């Protein structure tokens, strides 16, 4: 399927497209990275340690805070409460949201989620902080906790001055076409939950702040883009952005949750200025699971209609986004979910979203950020339809996939897909995994009535990269400099935290300049050195940051050509770049040449370039998962997962596959295991890794990766983003596989995570001829489709074109 190799290719021996080993790994594997807690710097001598006192209760008025005992504790230098800190509340991230829903940096009058910072304790030593924090006595007047987003509208208001608990909406039911499903023979509707997950990066959040004698703030922050962190931090503490320098140490994962700056960073920066000493803060895992923004958390109502022969005609998506206690970026993400509503299909769609606050951790971006929610919804809906009309799920998709296109295709929601070939991806996936053979094996097991049944889950996806809300405008800068010793330095506005930019960006420069990659150093994450940049998120880095490196390298050759022409007294046009000598030669006169290093020795040789993309790109693919379900216990095991991912031209297959590995694992984990659970009082039940189940190597099979390369025309490399694709395709594939394994028993839906209890209950309910689907949290009642018929299918005929949407009475979260 290699349709294309690098668009810009001067070098016949190009390393582009080859499996170059990661240059960053030897240091990580030997001396280790320097993460937030490892930081040693003379500017940090005499640092204080910040410990946050956090709310132990989900919703309450604060009647009194007594810090007198804590102030007496050993090592305590200061304790600050909301009233002590003159920093402005954070406003909601969109002007269309309810303006009363502001977030104080420390809880003011009320606490709204377990884990909300109430006070900060500053101590000489780190361990003293936890002891002292325990002595801060807070008197609460408990309020009813709003936990179920479905009931949020009618519950006690979180913000006294807000109109309600509704943050805002995208689209409205009034815009829905009353005849939307009129031409459908069958229509199915169901509520599905895209559950709340913890980001749980290996390294949590952290920061160190110190003020210089020049009055400027230097802040080390574990982040995904120093420049964005600088802007956010400056805004929080109310100083001009040029008065802040943000430095990025090695970062142990972010997944979208480390963009910008958090309230804790604002507080420690302010405290550092107040006390005239550096202040350090590194969160514990408990704080991380409560304090770092969570991901997903949408209740989706899907309605899908079509013909009995399996042709889907119309699909409607209604999203209820639980944004947690304060609207952060998570309140915006449903707009991306809406944008991606149509997925890879040609049938008509309509959608709307409502965002509400609840007494839970605020929701932010999490690998995929808004797009996985769209894919999960439509892929589940399509499978629901396929199972219900009894047509093979791959076949149902083939009938309605958008045909291959090379010119941009604009969807009904306004997304401009740059290029796509969805059917080839699906067919390639089916062929590679042996789809027909698997269906035969499934039929045999069903016929035998085996305890362990086989499920095959298909998911087609298209997603949007290099345009996500968290990633800034589609442009990026890079500076490439060649030094007199023949080495080179690249400055980038992207912010690697595991992806491998040091290798990839060096490959791009090396390809143009001939300088070996081990002689090229990448620098990022220091806003004094690199004042502008969009950071790394939304799978944007290669297509924009890498493209900028390539552009700067090409422009550097042009600059060198002019200088060489002068030096060699030749026409610039007669000079040829020769990567084998890392310099320029005069055509036809042997010996007349000069290297880039020699030119650099005479005058600094560097170029800063900005690459601007015409728009976002839309990678796509098809994932197929094979699950085995023990029908006696409900336990689901993922047996195989095959991914066809097409993110355009591949720069380095090793890095490409690395992104897919992590993404597929993370996506499968959401389908099988992960859920951040609250009880009915808003107490978190999964605030440690003993309870919050990330996936381990024992729960996944070896990945089967099949590559497809359909280049984009939006950058010279032809590359799209692959950082999130794995997460987007695998989640619905795995969920569909688990459901498919028990579909012959009458089951049509099981919410994620597909826990043993949920699977077992779904089987039991279907056997009893009752509800076809199960979901919700154990102990609080499952979601049953109230309209489920005896066959376990939620079906509505639509003589008048009206569809009744089931309402749910459950308490599930």
Partner 1 sequence: MIPPQFDYVRATSVEHALELLAEHGDDAKLLAGGHSLLPMMKIRLANPAVLIDIARIPDLSYVRDEGGTLAIGALTKHAMVASDPLVALNAPLLAHSAAQVGDPQIRNRGTIGGSLVHGDPAADLPMAVVALGVTLVVVGPSGRREVPVEDFFEGYFQTAVGEDELLVEIRVPSRPGVGWGYQKFVRRANDWAIVGVAAVGAGADAQVALGNMGNKALRASATEAALAAGASIADAAALADEGTEPQADMHADAEFRRHLVKVLTRRALESAAS
Binding site for partner 1 (CB under 8 A): 126-127, 130-131, 134, 284-286, 632-633, 635, 673, 677, 685-686, 688, 690-691, 693, 695-696, 698-699, 755-757, 760-761, 777-779
User: Minimum CB separation from partner 1 for residue 283, in Å?
Assistant: 9
Q: Kindly tell me which of 25 and 691 has the beta carbon lying closer to partner 1.
A: 691
Rg (CA), the chain: 28
User: Minimum CB separation from partner 1 for residue 633, in Å?
Assistant: 6
CA angle 551, 553, 555 (to 5 degrees): 70
Q: Kindly tell me which of 410 and 698 has the beta carbon lying closer to partner 1.
A: 698
| Distance from C-alpha of 50 to C-alpha of 78, rounded to nearest angstrom | 10
| Distance from C-alpha of 67 to C-alpha of 395, rounded to nearest angstrom | 66
User: Minimum CB separation from partner 1 for residue 657, in Å?
Assistant: 24
User: Minimum CB separation from partner 1 for residue 405, in Å?
Assistant: 42
Q: Kindly tell me which of 33 and 693 has the beta carbon lying closer to partner 1.
A: 693
User: Minimum CB separation from partner 1 for residue 338, in Å?
Assistant: 31
Closest residue by Cα to residue 640 from 743, 730, 740:
730
Q: What is the DSSP letter of 198?
A: E
User: Minimum CB separation from partner 1 for residue 56, in Å?
Assistant: 12
Q: What is the DSSP letter of 716?
A: T
Calculated CA dihedral for residues 540, 546, 552, 557, nearest 10 degrees: -160
User: Minimum CB separation from partner 1 for residue 191, in Å?
Assistant: 21
User: Minimum CB separation from partner 1 for residue 189, in Å?
Assistant: 28
User: Residue 368's Cα: distance from chain center in Å?
Assistant: 4
Structure tokens belonging to residue 124: 């000489």
Task: Give the count of beta carbons closer than 10 Å to the beta carbon of residue 161.
Answer: 10
Q: What is the DSSP letter of 285?
A: H
User: Minimum CB separation from partner 1 for residue 636, in Å?
Assistant: 10
User: Minimum CB separation from partner 1 for residue 761, in Å?
Assistant: 8
Closest residue by Cα to residue 280 from 218, 210, 217, 349:
210
Closest residue by Cα to residue 747 from 716, 708, 785, 691:
785
Q: Kindly tell me which of 164 and 757 has the beta carbon lying closer to partner 1.
A: 757
Q: Kindly tell me which of 269 and 686 has the beta carbon lying closer to partner 1.
A: 686
Calculated CA dihedral for residues 69, 74, 80, 84, nearest 10 degrees: 80
Q: Kindly tell me which of 200 and 677 has the beta carbon lying closer to partner 1.
A: 677
| Distance from C-alpha of 679 to C-alpha of 80, rounded to nearest angstrom | 31
Task: Give the count of beta carbons closer than 10 Å to the beta carbon of residue 179.
Answer: 12
Q: Kindly tell me which of 589 and 696 has the beta carbon lying closer to partner 1.
A: 696
Q: Kindly tell me which of 540 and 761 has the beta carbon lying closer to partner 1.
A: 761
Q: Kindly tell me which of 130 and 566 has the beta carbon lying closer to partner 1.
A: 130
Calculated CA dihedral for residues 760, 804, 352, 177, nearest 10 degrees: 150
| Buried b or exposed e, range 336-347, using 16+ CB within 10 angstroms | bbbbbbbbbbeb
Task: Give the count of beta carbons closer than 10 Å to the beta carbon of residue 610.
Answer: 14
């Amino acid at each position: 399927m290699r349709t294309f190799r690098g668009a810009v290719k001067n070098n016949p021996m190009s390393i582009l497209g080859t499996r170059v080993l990661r240059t960053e790994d030897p240091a990580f594997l030997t001396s280790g990275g320097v993460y937030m807690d490892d930081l040693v710097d003379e500017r940090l001598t005499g640092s204080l340690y910040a410990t946050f006192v956090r709310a132990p209760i989900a919703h309450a008025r604060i009647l009194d805070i007594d810090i007198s005992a804590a102030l007496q504790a050993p090592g305590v230098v200061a304790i600050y409460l909301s009233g002590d800190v003159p920093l402005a509340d954070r406003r909601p991230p969109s002007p269309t949201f309810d303006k009363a829903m502001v977030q104080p940096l420390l809880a003011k009058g009320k606490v709204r989620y377990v884990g909300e910072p109430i006070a900060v304790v500053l101590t000489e030593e780190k361990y003293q902080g936890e002891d002292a924090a325990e002595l801060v006595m807070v008197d609460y007047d408990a309020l009813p906790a709003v936990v179920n987003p479905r009931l949020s509208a009618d519950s006690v208001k979180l913000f006294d001055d807000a109109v309600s608990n509704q943050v805002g909406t995208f689209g409205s039911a009034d815009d829905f076409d009353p005849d939307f499903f009129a031409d459908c023979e069958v229509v199915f509707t169901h509520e599905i939950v895209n559950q709340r997950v913890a980001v749980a990066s290996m390294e949590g959040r952290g920061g160190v702040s110190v003020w210089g004698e020049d009055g400027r703030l230097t802040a080390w922050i574990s982040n995904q883009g120093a420049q964005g962190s600088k802007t956010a931090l400056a805004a929080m503490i109310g100083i001009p952005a040029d008065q802040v320098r943000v430095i990025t140490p090695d970062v142990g994962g972010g997944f979208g949750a480390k963009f910008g700056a958090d309230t804790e960073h604002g507080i420690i920066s302010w405290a550092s200025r107040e006390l005239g000493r550096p202040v350090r803060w590194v969160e514990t895992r408990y704080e991380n699971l409560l304090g770092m923004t969570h991901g997903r958390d949408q209740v989706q109502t899907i309605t899908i209609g079509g013909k009995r022969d399996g042709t889907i005609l119309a699909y409607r998506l209604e999203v209820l986004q639980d944004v947690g206690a304060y609207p952060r970026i998570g309140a915006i993400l449903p707009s991306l979910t809406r944008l991606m509503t149509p997925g890879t299909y040609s049938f008509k769609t309509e959608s709307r979203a409502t965002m509400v606050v609840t007494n839970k951790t605020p929701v932010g971006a999490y690998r995929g950020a808004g797009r996985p929610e769209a894919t999960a919804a439509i892929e589940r809906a399509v499978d629901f339809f396929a199972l219900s009309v009894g047509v093979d799920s791959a076949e149902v998709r083939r009938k309605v996939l958008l045909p291959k296109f090379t010119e941009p295709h604009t969807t009904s929601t306004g997304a401009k897909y740059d290029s796509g070939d969805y059917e080839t991806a699906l067919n390639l996936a089916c062929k590679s995994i042996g789809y027909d053979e698997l269906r035969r094996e499934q039929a045999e097991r069903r016929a035998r009535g085996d305890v362990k049944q086989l499920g095959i889950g298909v998911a087609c996806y298209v997603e949007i990269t290099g345009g996500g809300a968290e990633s800034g405008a589609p442009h990026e800068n890079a500076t490439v400099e060649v030094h007199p010793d023949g080495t080179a330095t690249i400055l980038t506005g992207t912010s690697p935290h595991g992806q491998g930019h040091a290798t990839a960006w060096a490959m791009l420069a090396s390809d143009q300049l001939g300088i070996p990659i081990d002689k090229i150093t990448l620098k990022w994450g220091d806003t004094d050195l690199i004042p502008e940049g969009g950071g790394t998120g939304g799978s944007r880095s290669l297509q924009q940051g890498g493209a900028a490196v390539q552009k700067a390298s090409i422009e550097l050759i042009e600059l060198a050509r002019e200088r060489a022409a002068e030096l060699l007294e030749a026409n610039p046009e007669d000079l040829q770049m020769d990567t084998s000598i890392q310099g320029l030669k005069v055509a036809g006169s042997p010996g007349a040449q000069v290297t880039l290093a020699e030119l650099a020795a005479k005058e600094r040789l560097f170029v800063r370039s900005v690459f601007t993309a015409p728009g976002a790109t839309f990678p796509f693919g098809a994932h197929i998962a094979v699950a085995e379900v023990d029908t006696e216990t409900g336990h689901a095991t993922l047996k195989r997962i095959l991914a066809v991912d097409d993110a355009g031209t591949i720069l380095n297959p090793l890095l490409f596959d690395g992104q897919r590995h992590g993404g597929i694992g993370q996506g499968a984990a959401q389908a099988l295991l992960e859920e951040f659970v609250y009880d009915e009082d808003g107490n978190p039940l999964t605030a440690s890794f003993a309870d919050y189940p990330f996936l381990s190597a024992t729960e996944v099979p070896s990945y089967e990766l099949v590559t497809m390369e359909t280049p984009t025309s939006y950058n010279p490399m032809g590359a799209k983003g692959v950082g999130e694709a794995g997460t987007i395709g695998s989640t619905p594939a795995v969920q569909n596989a688990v459901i498919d394994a028990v579909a012959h028993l009458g089951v049509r839906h099981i919410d994620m995570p597909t826990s043993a209890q949920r699977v077992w209950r779904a089987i039991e309910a279907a056997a009893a001829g009752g509800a076809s689907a199960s979901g919700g949290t154990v102990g609080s009642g499952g979601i049953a489709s109230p309209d489920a018929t005896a066959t376990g299918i939620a079906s509505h005929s639509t003589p008048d074109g009206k569809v009744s949407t089931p309402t749910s009475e459950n308490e599930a979260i």
